[in-house]
């Protein structure tokens, strides 16, 4: 009996990436991914002021006809975490089995998408994180600045200590999730800022879901514009808050990960993200019509 391929969403987040996006999209291993998965690419541009959307459309016109590729555009910047929420809502709504997050600036190698998603063949694994810290010396060899390397190591140690985890890195944005696992955590309550990634790790840990790490190469060509000090403070405070929540000293709704209510049944947050998704669809169509005119 023919077995249906798992549905995989590769969700690409972009913001002012016109100089990088075409190269990133070309490097996605479409042929090998489509052999194993029912593949869809969704690029959601976060209110870029450059030609990221236009460059993405150019690529879309030349993509093989058997691959569904959509370009969205947030008319108002939703920030790093907010843009992810829209993508995960899209994945849940459209009943994908798996979703992989890809950054449009090329810091995470698209060639590793197969390796990133493959561990999810094991139904016991809920998320896969690409780690730049698993192979000794690889991060520094790939150009990670020494202050980022030290900060990454120190904060990851602190987070592992408080959460009783053994992750090699908390701060890589290269990730793949089982969509059914995303429905079991309140990711919609998370921040729209960069520490969204830390919050979702905490939620998976508190929900006792299994995270698997794979080594990935490090590349630093585009400097991250977020304040590193503010980010460090935010992730440390969030981890402490989660620890205090587990000890019963504080109550934090986003870290209440043991309830049985799934994401899709929560109408308020579901409707809000659906509105943002539809605005992104509409704004992308408007940009395309202007381009064609």
What domains can you pick out in the chain, each with its CATH number? 7-292 (3.90.550.10)
Tokens standing for 261?
């209510």
Task: Give the span between the Cα atoms of 90 and 85, in whole angstroms.
Answer: 9
- The predicted pLDDT at position 1 comes to 41
Of 98, 8, 86, which Cα lies nearest the Cα of 46? 86
DSSP string, 91-105: HHHTT-SEEEEEETT
- The predicted pLDDT at position 144 comes to 81
- The predicted pLDDT at position 262 comes to 64
CB 182 within 8 A of CB 91: yes
The pair phi, psi for residue 98, each rounded to 5°, is -140, 150
Q: List, for residues 45-92, the tens digit of each pLDDT value.
A: 999 999 999 999 999 888 888 889 999 999 999 999 999 999 999 999
- The predicted pLDDT at position 112 comes to 97
Residues of the chain with pLDDT under 70: 1-3, 220-226, 259-267, 290-293
**pTM of this structure:** 0.93
What DSSP character marks residue 119?
G
Tokens standing for 65?
């006809």
* Cα angle value 134/182/277 (rounded, 5°): 115
């Amino acid at each position: 009996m023919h077995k249906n391929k798992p549905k995989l969403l590769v969700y690409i987040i972009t913001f002012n990436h016109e100089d990088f996006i075409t190269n990133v999209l070309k490097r996605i291993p479409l042929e090998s991914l489509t052999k194993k998965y029912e593949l869809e690419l969704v690029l959601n541009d976060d209110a870029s002021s450059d030609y990221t959307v236009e460059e993405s459309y150019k690529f879309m016109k030349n993509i093989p006809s058997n691959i569904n590729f959509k370009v969205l555009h947030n008319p108002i910047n939703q920030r790093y975490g907010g843009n992810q929420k829209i993508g995960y809502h899209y994945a849940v709504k459209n009943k994908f089995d798996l979703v992989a997050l890809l950054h449009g600036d090329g810091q995470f190698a698209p060639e590793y998408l197969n390796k990133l998603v493959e561990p999810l063949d094991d139904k016991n694994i809920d998320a896969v994180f690409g780690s730049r810290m698993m192979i000794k010396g690889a991060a520094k060899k790939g150009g990670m600045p020494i202050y980022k390397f030290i900060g990454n190591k120190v904060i990851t140690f602190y987070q592992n200590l408080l959460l009783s985890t053994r992750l090699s890195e908390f701060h890589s944005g290269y990730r793949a999730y089982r969509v059914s696992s995303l429905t079991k955590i309140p990711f919609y309550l998370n921040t729209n800022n960069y520490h969204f990634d830390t919050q979702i790790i905490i939620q998976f840990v508190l929900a006792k879901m299994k995270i698997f790490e794979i080594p990935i190469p490090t590349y630093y060509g585009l400097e991250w514009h977020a304040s590193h000090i503010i980010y460090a403070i935010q992730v440390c405070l969030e981890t402490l808050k989660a620890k205090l929540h587990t000890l019963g000293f504080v109550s934090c709704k986003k870290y209440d990960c043991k309830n049985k209510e799934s994401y899709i049944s929560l109408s308020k947050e579901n409707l809000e993200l659906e509105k943002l998704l539809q605005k992104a669809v509409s704004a992308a169509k408007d940009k395309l019509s202007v381009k064609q005119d």
